[in-house]
């Protein structure tokens, strides 16, 4: 059996469509046929007219529940009709949210009784209310993040760090990209852009185009991923309520496709952080330069050597927005790795490590730089068990001396280390030094790409660029 994502991507490719038609029977007029038969006839008619134009169908549970048992029986038959129409996935808009035991019952109802492929879920109860839905292989959950209704901001933008952004961060720790996506209203293009930035690889369900007045062009510009996909655009009344549903669906699909222009810049400023073609998170590089974290001139390094460039990531903690951006960049790189706790190297990486730990909901420890002659006398602060795997976080790698010293302290305390992650690799021997000891270094940024972006954006001159590149080349030849 195909899972939701497989069905969705298959329908997108076959039908060249990001359109999701809502199957919401708002009113059924009295007639000779039973309510159930009228509902089924209405739903099947919409499916037959639009099955080659959509990527998904989205019935709202309330519009069937209002008719009692006949409505619910009709829902099951309409879901089956969508399946028979050619593996079109069905996303049940039910907005479930309850404690774990009850959530498990809701999940069984959605996936085993109604037979849908995905469901909308409220995150208000936290992880407990969501994870029971993730226990069903191939099924998907769309967590309410920033909804399309007018009063959404009263709750979802509350707090110095908006609630919807917290949901976008935490939700990614609950399930992977084939299990969990987010609901972000097309009426909220700013929020759509921020969630896409925070969750570059997640599917977004963007209701609000049509009757609610969402700006389609703005929503797609904000939400599409690097492949010109990643957004499901639902429309209910605008299609199912039209005099000619097929023509309405065709027109809306074509309008959506007019805006599906892939962009390598999509997916947040760290979208290329995991490596591969097009690597170069320019937004993050420019933000670091704006904060004075990357400076040019004549500097003496801790090793006593002279350098035409100086990286001071201790400044990141003074800029909350930049700290969040940096934490997101680390998290994007870290997510595929296996570890029990994070271990931040003092001092610059400590606030960064705390931000990453909060974002990923993972424990944090840190190796002390100096021996502690009082209190517990611990060399590693924090809670861990012998044999736990620590993922080491550092701000910059030069020769990796500080990383190796930190790893020695962690391992002496009983922790296992396999990987280290830095924001910037100065390309001065760090990866090779770690590899020689059996460790792997992952870097969000390479020094050469930082230089290229700053030159291309005219932040430094061509001469400054050449000076630093030549310096790096000299260092490389000296190794």
For residue 347, say if its preceding peptide bond is cis, omega within 30 degrees of 0.
yes
**Cα–Cα distance measured from residue 134 to residue 49, given in angstroms and rounded to the nearest whole number:** 32
Q: Six-digit token pair at 469?
A: 């590149």
Is residue 458 exposed (0-12), middle (13-18) or buried (19+ Cβ within 10 Å)? exposed
Q: Six-digit token pair at 370?
A: 């100096």
Question: Is 7 designated active site?
Answer: no
**Cα–Cα distance measured from residue 54 to residue 231, given in angstroms and rounded to the nearest whole number:** 13
43 membership: H or E segment, kind and range = helix 35-50
Number of H helices, E strands in the chain: 19, 16
Within 8 A by CB and 6+ apart from 185, the residues are: 146, 147, 148, 149, 152, 191, 192, 206, 207, 208, 212, 214
Catalytic residue among 7, 95, 369, 372: 95
Q: Where are the alpha helices (DSSP H) in 292-384?
A: 320-334, 349-360
Q: Is 231 helix (H, G, I), strand (E, B) or coil?
A: strand
C-alpha closest to that of 392 among 337, 320, 447, 429: 337
Q: Six-digit token pair at 133?
A: 């839905």
Laid out side by side, the sheet with 140-146 consists of 56-58, 19-22, 231-235, 204-205, 180-184, 140-146, 118-121, 91-96
C-alpha closest to that of 179 among 106, 130, 146, 232: 130
Backbone angles phi, psi at 274, to 5 degrees: -80, 0
C-alpha closest to that of 188 among 213, 167, 163, 169: 213
Q: Six-digit token pair at 219?
A: 């929503």
Q: Six-digit token pair at 148?
A: 């399309």
CB-based contact 152:185 (threshold 8 Å): yes
CB-based contact 15:25 (threshold 8 Å): no
Is residue 234 exposed (0-12), middle (13-18) or buried (19+ Cβ within 10 Å)? buried
> Which amino acids are annotated catalytic?
95
């Amino acid at each position: 059996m195909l899972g939701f994502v497989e069905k969705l991507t298959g329908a997108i490719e076959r039908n060249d469509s990001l359109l999701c038609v809502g199957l919401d029977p708002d009113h059924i007029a009295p007639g000779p046929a039973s309510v159930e038969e009228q509902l089924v006839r209405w739903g099947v008619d919409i499916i037959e007219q639009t099955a080659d134009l959509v990527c998904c169908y989205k019935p709202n549970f309330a519009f069937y529940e209002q008719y009692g048992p006949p409505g619910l029986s009709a829902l099951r038959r309409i879901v089956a009709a969508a399946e028979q129409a050619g593996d079109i996935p069905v996303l049940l808009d039910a907005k479930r949210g309850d404690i774990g035991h009850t959530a498990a019952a809701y999940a069984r109802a959605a996936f085993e009784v109604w037979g849908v492929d995905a469901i909308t879920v409220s995150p208000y109860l936290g992880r407990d209310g969501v994870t029971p839905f993730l226990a069903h292989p191939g099924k998907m959950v769309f967590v309410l993040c920033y909804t399309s209704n007018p009063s959404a901001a009263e709750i979802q933008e509350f707090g110095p760090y908006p609630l919807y952004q917290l949901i976008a961060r935490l939700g990614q720790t609950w399930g992977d990209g084939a299990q969990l996506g987010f609901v972000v209203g097309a009426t909220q293009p700013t929020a759509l852009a921020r969630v896409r930035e925070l969750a570059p690889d997640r599917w977004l369900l963007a209701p609000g185009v049509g009757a609610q007045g969402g700006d389609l062009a703005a929503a797609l510009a904000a939400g599409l991923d690097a492949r010109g996909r990643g957004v499901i655009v639902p429309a209910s009344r605008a299609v199912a309520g039209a005099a000619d549903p097929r023509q309405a669906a065709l027109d809306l699909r074509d309008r959506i496709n007019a805006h599906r222009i892939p962009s390598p810049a999509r997916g947040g400023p760290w979208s290329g952080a995991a490596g591969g073609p097009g690597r170069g998170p320019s937004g993050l590089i420019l933000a670091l330069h704006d904060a004075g974290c990357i400076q040019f001139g004549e500097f003496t390094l801790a090793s006593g050597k002279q350098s035409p460039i100086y990286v001071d990531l201790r400044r990141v903690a003074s800029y909350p927005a930049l700290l969040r951006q940096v934490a997101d960049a680390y998290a994007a790189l870290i997510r595929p790795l296996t570890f029990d706790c994070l271990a931040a190297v003092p001092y610059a990486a400590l606030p960064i490590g705390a931000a990453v730990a909060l974002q990923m909901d993972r424990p944090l420890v840190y190796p002390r730089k100096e021996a502690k002659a009082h209190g517990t006398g611990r060399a590693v602060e924090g809670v861990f068990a012998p044999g736990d795997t620590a993922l080491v976080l550092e701000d910059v790698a030069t020769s990796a001396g500080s990383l190796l010293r930190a790893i020695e302290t962690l391992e002496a305390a009983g922790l296992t280390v396999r990987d280290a992650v830095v924001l910037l690799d100065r390309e001065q021997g760090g990866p090779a030094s770690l590899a020689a000891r059996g460790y792997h270094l992952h870097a969000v940024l390479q020094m050469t790409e930082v230089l290229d972006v700053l030159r291309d954006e005219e932040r430094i001159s061509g001469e400054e660029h050449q000076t630093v590149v030549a310096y790096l080349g000299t260092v490389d030849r000296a190794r």
